[in-house]
């Protein structure tokens, strides 16, 4: 069964798409700053990332392709006309990229840039149009060899040639719209739908007068290297004080076993109510009790120079505690995965509690 997710980067209004089948995934247009999030989702869904696919060399954000390859071993592919270096595969018109039992077909759709491609799912139920066709709009054509007449022909001959029911997913939307269809855009696209001709479209596009993307001077050179930063150390530092897991929910988690083996490396913060702390589940030796409701007022009781591991009954309240601590400026914070329930179930030592 096809797995499909639409992910959003609020900074650049970029959509990243996850498609997967039989345990194998592709990401279309991943964003550098969202690699940690995307890797967490892949791990939670039990997916192996085979490919990162670019619709084009982006001007407004750096792709996550290089960083994902480094972290997860995925291969990088993008259009042959992109001019990018360092890809594992350069895609020509009509070629396919496979994942599980499914595949995406490559259609060259230049116009926003000369190297733009659209990826069409094998059954033509979905297509990923990059910055060629947007929802009731189009990508701009005023830089990176953009050309409105070329874009018009790409849309009309390559995208509008798909079945009307085919859902279209762009690389951006600046109003929060998420998807459209070939039938809808043929009728309602205000720039090139209906009877609008190539000259009309060029007239519209040549008068947009948009400011250049804020990131263009950083993004284009990095993306021409598939997202390899000029300074490789620019990669966001991962916490190294313990083997933490980042969840798609946005929480740093620590496994119970490591805490049992490294009891003096951290301060354990128990955020349950006093009766629970004294109750049947027991508590972790040395844990400091600050009930969650009192934590915002009592953060000063915790040392700022030692990592904090938050714990509660099942891991929910302590997850909230990690967010409160991060807001209060603590940078080494983690949630004890599964809380006291899992700590007990796995037989780790407790103080107090029922035998």
Ligand X SMILES: N[C@@H](CCC(=O)N[C@@H](CS)C(=O)NCC(=O)O)C(=O)O
Residue 37 · residue 120 · CB < 8 Å: no
From the list Fe ion, ligand X, none, which binds 275 (C-beta under 5 to 8 Å, kind-based)?
A: none
Shortest reach from residue 199's CB to ligand X, in Å: 20
Q: Which of 151, 224, 230, 227 is nearest to 192 (CA)?
A: 151
d(CA 93, CA 106): 5
Could you write out the DSSP letters of every residue in 18-78? Answer: EEEETTEEEEES-BGGGHHHHHHHHHHTT-EEEEEE-SS--SSS-BSHHHHHHHH-PEEEE
Residue 116 · residue 110 · CB < 8 Å: yes
Please say which residue, 215 or 245, places its beta carbon nearer to ligand X.
Answer: 215
Shortest reach from residue 6's CB to ligand X, in Å: 17
Site string for ligand X, 113-132 (x = CB under 6 A): ------------------x-
Please say which residue, 39 or 226, places its beta carbon nearer to ligand X.
Answer: 226
Stretch that binds ligand X, among 65-73, 199-207, 213-221, 246-254 (CB under 6 A): 213-221
Shortest reach from residue 164's CB to ligand X, in Å: 25
Please say which residue, 131 or 276, places its beta carbon nearer to Fe ion.
Answer: 131
d(CA 315, CA 91): 46
Site string for ligand X, 174-203 (x = CB under 6 A): x-----------------------------
Shortest reach from residue 7's CB to Fe ion, in Å: 17
Q: In what order do the strands lie in the sheet with 180-181?
A: 96-99, 102-108, 117-121, 126-130, 167-170, 180-181
Any contact of residue 221 with ligand X (CB under 6 A)?
A: no
Q: Which of 184, 157, 167, 96 is nearest to 125 (CA)?
A: 167
Shortest reach from residue 61's CB to ligand X, in Å: 7
- Rule CB under 6 A: which residues touch ligand X? 12, 58-60, 131, 137, 139-140, 172, 174, 210, 213-215
């Amino acid at each position: 069964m096809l797995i499909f997710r639409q992910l959003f980067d609020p900074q650049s209004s970029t959509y990243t798409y996850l498609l997967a089948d039989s345990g194998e995934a592709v990401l279309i247009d991943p964003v550098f700053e969202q690699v940690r999030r995307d890797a967490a989702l892949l791990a939670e869904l039990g997916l192996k990332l085979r490919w990162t696919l670019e619709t084009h060399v982006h001007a407004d954000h750096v792709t996550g392709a290089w960083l994902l390859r480094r972290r997860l071993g995925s291969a990088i592919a993008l259009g042959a006309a992109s001019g990018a270096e360092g890809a594992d595969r350069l895609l020509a018109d009509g070629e396919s990229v496979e994942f599980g039992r499914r595949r995406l077909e490559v259609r060259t759709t230049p116009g926003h840039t000369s190297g733009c491609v659209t990826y069409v799912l094998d059954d033509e139920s979905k297509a990923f149009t990059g910055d060629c066709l947007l929802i009731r709009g189009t990508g701009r054509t005023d830089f990176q060899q953009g050309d409105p007449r070329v874009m018009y022909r790409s849309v009309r001959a390559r995208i509008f040639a798909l079945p009307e029911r085919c859902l279209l997913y762009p690389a951006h939307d600046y109003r929060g719209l998420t998807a459209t269809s070939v039938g809808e855009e043929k009728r309602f696209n205000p720039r090139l739908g209906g009877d609008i001709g190539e000259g009309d479209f060029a007239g519209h596009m040549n008068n947009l007068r948009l400011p250049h993307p804020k990131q263009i001077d950083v993004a284009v050179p990095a993306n021409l290297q598939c997202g390899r930063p000029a300074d490789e150390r620019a990669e966001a530092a991962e916490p190294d004080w313990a083997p933490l897991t980042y969840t798609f929910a946005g929480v740093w988690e620590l496994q119970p076993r490591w805490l049992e083996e490294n009891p003096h490396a951290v301060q354990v913060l128990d955020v349950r109510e006093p009766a629970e702390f004294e109750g049947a589940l027991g508590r972790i030796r040395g844990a400091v009790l600050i009930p969650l409701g009192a934590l915002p007022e009592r953060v000063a009781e915790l040392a700022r120079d030692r990592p904090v591991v938050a714990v509660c009954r099942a891991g929910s309240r302590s997850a909230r505690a990690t967010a409160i601590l991060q807001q209060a400026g603590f940078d080494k914070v983690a949630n004890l995965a599964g809380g006291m329930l899992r700590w007990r179930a796995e037989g780790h030592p407790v103080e107090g509690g029922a035998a």
